[in-house]
């Protein structure tokens, strides 16, 4: 007997079941579009440079507010492959952005992975980030080529979700 598809479901701490990935989805995972959500222009510039120097040649869409990103993504025809979401932003925090996406059903979506991105190394922020469905990592600013390679590997191989999201 041969199986062409399987689904992996994990129970979220709130009691709901979340489809983390399926074999078919895991084989199709790409890294063609990254969305960066960070209110700090300098950090966005540095992140762009690190991505370029790491050989990333895909599309990069940057937003300086979580609200603007949410509004844009609601209208988008296709979900991005990877989000880098700053935690501490004015107006709407990265955590609030994630909660809105989860509430609207746009995350987790079987395609996109999320990395929470912050200058904070507070354990409570890291723990909260790990508890969110679709989050595969927590990266302290500034992004390094090594951290990007780890994120890329997790996105392409670990599936969509909290399978192994140690920082």
* The CATH classification of domain 30-156, taken from the options 3.60.15.10, 3.40.50.2300, 3.40.50.720, 3.40.50.300: 3.40.50.2300
Cβ–Cβ < 8 Å for 110, 81: no
pLDDT in tens, 34-89: 999 999 999 999 999 999 999 999 999 999 999 999 999 989 989 999 999 999 99
Q: How far is 100 from 69, CA to CA, in rounded Å?
A: 11
CB atoms within 10 A of CB 136: 26
pLDDT in tens, 4-45: 444 444 455 555 444 444 444 444 678 999 999 999 999 999
Structure confidence at residue 137 (pLDDT):
94
Tokens of 64: 């300086």
The four Cα atoms 19, 20, 22, 24 give a dihedral, to 10 degrees, of 120
């Amino acid at each position: 007997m041969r199986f062409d598809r399987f689904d992996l479901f994990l129970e979220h701490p709130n009691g709901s079941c979340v489809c983390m990935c399926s074999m078919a989805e895991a084989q199709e995972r790409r890294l063609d579009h990254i969305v960066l959500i960070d209110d700090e222009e300098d950090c966005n510039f540095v992140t762009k440079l690190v991505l370029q120097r790491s050989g990333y040649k895909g599309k990069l869409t940057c937003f300086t507010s979580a609200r603007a990103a949410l509004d844009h993504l609601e209208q988008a025809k296709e979900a991005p492959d990877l989000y880098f979401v700053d935690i501490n932003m004015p107006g709407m925090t990265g955590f609030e952005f994630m909660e809105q996406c989860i509430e609207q059903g746009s995350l987790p979506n079987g395609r996109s992975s999320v990395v929470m991105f912050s200058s904070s190394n507070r354990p409570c922020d890291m723990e909260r980030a790990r508890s969110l469905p679709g989050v595969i990592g927590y990266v302290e600013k500034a992004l390094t080529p090594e951290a990007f390679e780890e994120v890329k590997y997790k996105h392409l191989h670990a599936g969509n979700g909290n399978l192994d999201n140690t920082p």
